[in-house]
């Protein structure tokens, strides 16, 4: 019996059997799409999180720290001024461990092992430190200036500058 002898609705059913995609093909496509999304997400998420929530200024965990001033100088450039009751040498050592590239003022005596620090003038520079961090495709350049000898806002003030660049 030929297809032409069958009623019209039975012909359409018999012609659709065996046609179309196998069930595993859409599932394989979904698995591949999911793997691609995970691959892209792993590469993009650190950058997006850094752009939305950039790293905050590193500050010593000990002592009383007071935020005196915060300024956004431009896109990707922030500056914080903190006051602390800690000695300038102690704050300088924290940033030396955190950022590692530090230049001490010879008059501060902080670079000496004893770390005795005579207070010569108000706002005496103790150390300048800099270092970098990375998040995603961006680099963060940290620059810190530690000064001591203040009578208000804590005896030590330190300025933390964060510059985000690609």
pTM: 0.68
Residue 152 lies in a domain: yes
- Provide the greatest CA pair distance for the chain: 112
Looking at the predicted structure, is the pLDDT value of residue 53 above 80?
Answer: no
19 and 84, same domain (yes or no): no
The answer to whether 125 and 108 are in contact (CB under 8 A) is yes
The answer to whether 162 and 145 are in contact (CB under 8 A) is no
State which of 13-22, 50-59, 125-134 shows the largest mean pLDDT: 125-134
35 and 77, same domain (yes or no): no
pLDDT band at 149 (very low <50, low <70, confident <90, very high): confident
Looking at the predicted structure, is the pLDDT value of residue 52 above 60?
Answer: yes
Q: Are strands 138-148 and 156-165 parallel, antiparallel or unpaired?
A: antiparallel
Q: Which domain, by its residues, includes 108? A: 65-165
Any residues with CB less than 8 A from the CB of 24 and at least 6 apart, and which? none
123 and 102, same domain (yes or no): yes
């Amino acid at each position: 019996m030929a297809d032409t002898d069958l009623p019209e609705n039975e012909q359409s059913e018999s012609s659709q059997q065996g046609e179309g995609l196998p069930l595993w093909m859409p599932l394989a496509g979904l698995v591949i799409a999911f793997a691609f999304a995970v691959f892209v997400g792993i590469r993009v998420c650190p950058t997006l999180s850094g752009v939305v929530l950039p790293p905050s200024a590193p500050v010593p965990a000990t002592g009383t720290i007071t935020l005196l001033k915060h300024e956004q100088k431009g896109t990707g450039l922030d500056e914080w001024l903190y006051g602390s009751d800690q000695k300038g040498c102690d704050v300088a050592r924290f940033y030396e461990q955190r950022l590692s590239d530090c230049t001490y003022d010879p008059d501060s005596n902080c670079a000496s092992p004893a770390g005795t620090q005579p207070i010569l003038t108000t706002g005496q520079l103790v150390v300048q430190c800099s270092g970098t961090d990375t998040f995603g495709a961006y680099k963060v350049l940290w620059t810190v200036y530690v000064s001591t000898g203040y009578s208000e806002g804590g005896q030590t003030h330190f300025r933390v500058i964060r510059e985000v660049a690609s």
